[in-house]
Amino acid sequence: MSTTGGVVRRSLLDDLATSMLALIAERKLAPGDQFEAVRSLAERFKVAVPTVREALRRLEATGAVELRHGSGVYVGPNVGRLVLANPLALAPSPDRLVELLQARALIEPPVAALAAQTRAEAALEQMAKDLDAAADLIASGDHAQLAEVNMDFHRSLAQASGNATLAEVVESVTVVNAREQLEILHIHGDRQADLDEHRAIYDAVRSGDADLAELLTREHLDGVLAVINERLQHP
Amino acid sequence: MSTTGGVVRRSLLDDLATSMLALIAERKLAPGDQFEAVRSLAERFKVAVPTVREALRRLEATGAVELRHGSGVYVGPNVGRLVLANPLALAPSPDRLVELLQARALIEPPVAALAAQTRAEAALEQMAKDLDAAADLIASGDHAQLAEVNMDFHRSLAQASGNATLAEVVESVTVVNAREQLEILHIHGDRQADLDEHRAIYDAVRSGDADLAELLTREHLDGVLAVINERLQHP
DNA sequence: ACATGAAAATGATCAGATCACTTGGTCATT
DNA sequence: AATGACCAAGTGATCTGATCATTTTCATGT
């Protein structure tokens, strides 16, 4: 935001972007709904098409809208979100990877404890589905897909806390190159043990045992961290 | 990322954006450095100017680059960041505000404990500066500025943990409409008490007392939360 | 040295055109 | 009637080329 002596100079683009967001909010459009054609927007706001497109690209970058070729402009999944993973992040260095896991090991256990107190039902069911899916994928040997589902479990767990902001934080810190993280894990980690630990966490949350949920989550992530560290030291 | 049967269709824009990021990385450019002119980029990548601009807008949205009218394209402050606050977030609802504080009350205490163990020197000095600045601003009565500096203290505290990812998380969850949060606080909160609590946290971190730092941070944020809740119930 | 002001560099915006993809309907085939 | 091939309209993607606005640079004159 460029300022000069406290006075904010809003460019045409700033106005456009916020106006379009306001338009989405005004029409009460939800993620997935179709928005409005580029040409139509250009006419509505009395600006040229390239200008509209630049504004849309800005919104698109944070998942506020989606541009689908040949189809239209749609409301994106991240409208109204406060915290998000940098969609442009490049593959993290090994140091950054360890740091990321440390951050998760610090944040997720208390979130699990809160989840055990709140127990948002929809999220609990999602956790159960994630566990089932993981079991299937272990059997079928699809490790890439398994990695995704395991991450989904952690996200569902955060959802169960009932705090959308916390869920966003966990989602952000969890979505960052899941591939890289779990590439390592699935070479050297014990997939079945992972699943068992997830199941234990689920049971603790389901039964409302906050202390146990926190403890199990901490042990689980510390274990993951240990595997990663070991792997990085013996490449 | 649009996929069809597992095959990723990268649009020209996707390629452009990542190529430009790679170019920045390759040249080892740091935030604030000048990048390259739009027309020059268009020529380099053999695409039209509007296309380059759309890609730049995408990067700009997450703070990877900055476009300064008449001056040039510069590397932004968020290059290489993993987690960030949604720059398009609108003012959070009261519910969302409470949720945000709850998230902070959950995350920041263990971060403070870690900071007391790590004690990154540069961040400790920054904390001291923030405290001094806050004292001055209380004296001068500049509440708006005081709100900012108080947030800075929390960010510096997270920096002291030595974990950049955690610092990013705290920064993200802290930057979201500091204005709204502290508008409430500074009408009904006790500014001097706030400062004293910050000082106590600083002392605990400085002396390496992790448990105390965690406890004080928790009490501090719970206090803030109580003020916010009270304020929202009696408008 | 300093201030002034023109010139160059650069981003912002516009206009109109063409290409590429998606979608829904038509229509022949089965 | 169900199915599939095909076509046409709607819409995003990209290009070309120009003009305006802001910043920076630097020669010029005092």
Q: Could you tell me the domains of chain A?
A: 3-75 (1.10.10.10), 94-233 (1.20.120.530)
Residue A10's pLDDT is: 62
Are the C-beta atoms of B89 and B175 separated by less than 8 Å?
A: no
Nucleotide in closest CA–C1' contact with A60: D12
pLDDT of residue B93: 84
Residues of chain B with pLDDT under 70: 1-10, 177-189, 234-235
Query: Tell me, in Å, how far CA of B32 is from C1' of D24?
Result: 17
Whole-number Å distance between alpha carbons of B85 and B62:
9
Residue A185's pLDDT is what? 67
Give the model's pLDDT for residue A4.
32
B88–chain A Cβ distance below 8 A for any pair: yes
CB contact under 8 A, A64 and B163: no
Nearest to B83 among A25, A85, A163 (CB): A85
pLDDT in tens, A214-223: 999 999 999 9
Q: Considering CB atoms only, which of B13, B88, B110 is closest to A59? A: B88
What pLDDT is recorded for position A2? 38
Rounded Cα–Cα distance for residues A215 and B42 (Å): 54
- Rounded, the Å distance between the CA of B35 and C1' of C8 is 19
- Residue A147 Cα to chain centre, angstroms: 14
C-alpha A36, offset from chain centre:
27
Strands B3-4 and A83-85, by their bridges, are unpaired
pLDDT of residue A152: 94
Predicted pLDDT at B45: 96
Gap between the Cα atoms of B232 and B100, Å rounded: 14
What whole-number percentage of chain A has pLDDT above 90? 70
Q: What is the pLDDT of residue A3?
A: 35
pLDDT value, residue B179: 62
Is A144 in CB contact (< 8 Å) with chain B? no
Cα–Cα dist B164/B82, whole Å: 9
- The secondary structure of residue A189, as a DSSP letter, is S
B23 in A contact zone (CB under 8 Å):
no
**Token digits of residue A134:** 């993981």
> D1 C1' – B5 CA distance, angstroms?
32
pLDDT of residue B144: 78
What's the CA gap between A224 and A185, in Å, rounded? 8
| pLDDT value at residue A235 | 62
Nucleotides of D under 7 A from a protein CB: 10-18, 21-24
Residues of chain A with pLDDT under 70: 1-10, 177-189, 234-235
Nucleotide nearest to A35 (CA to C1'): D11
Tens-place pLDDT, residues B88-97:
888 888 888 8
CB contact, 8 Å: A182 with chain B? Answer: no
Beta-sheet strands, E only, within chain B: 3-4, 7-8, 65-68, 72-75, 83-85
Q: Which residues in chain B have their CB less than 8 angstroms from residue A158's CB?
A: none
Residue B109 buriedness (CB in 10 A; 0-12 / 13-18 / 19+): buried
Cβ contact B54 with chain D strand, < 7 A: yes
Q: Give the DSSP H or E segment for A113.
A: helix A94-118
CA distance A169 to B172: 9
Asked if A86 is an interface residue toward chain B (Cβ–Cβ < 8 A), one would say yes
What whole-number distance in Å separates Cα of residue A29 and Cα of residue A59? 15
- Identify the residue whose Cα has the smallest distance to the C1' of C20: A70
Instruction: Using CB atoms, pick whichever of B17, B106, B166 lies closest to residue A110.
Output: B106
Nearest-CB residue to A163 (from B54, B59, B103) = B103
CA nearest neighbour of A57 among A71, A70, A67: A67
Token digits of residue A104: 């998760």
What is residue A5's predicted lDDT score, i.e. its pLDDT? 31
The pLDDT of residue A74 is 97
Contact check, Cβ <8 Å, B53/A54: yes
Residue B189 carries which DSSP code? S
**CB A120, CB A159: distance < 8 Å:** yes
Which pLDDT does position A8 carry in this prediction? Answer: 44
Residues in Cβ contact with A116 at an 8 Å cutoff, skipping those fewer than 6 apart: A204, A205, A207, A208, A209, A210, A212, A213, A214
A48 touches strand D (CB under 7 A): no
Contact B62 A87 (CB under 8 A): yes
CB B89 within 8 A of CB A80: yes
Per-residue pLDDT, B14: 87
pLDDT digits (tens, 9 = 90+) for A132-172: 999 999 999 888 788 889 999 999 999 999 999 999 999 99
Say whether residue A229 is in contact with chain B using an 8 A CB cutoff: no
Q: What pLDDT, on the 0 to 100 scale, is given for residue B8?
A: 46
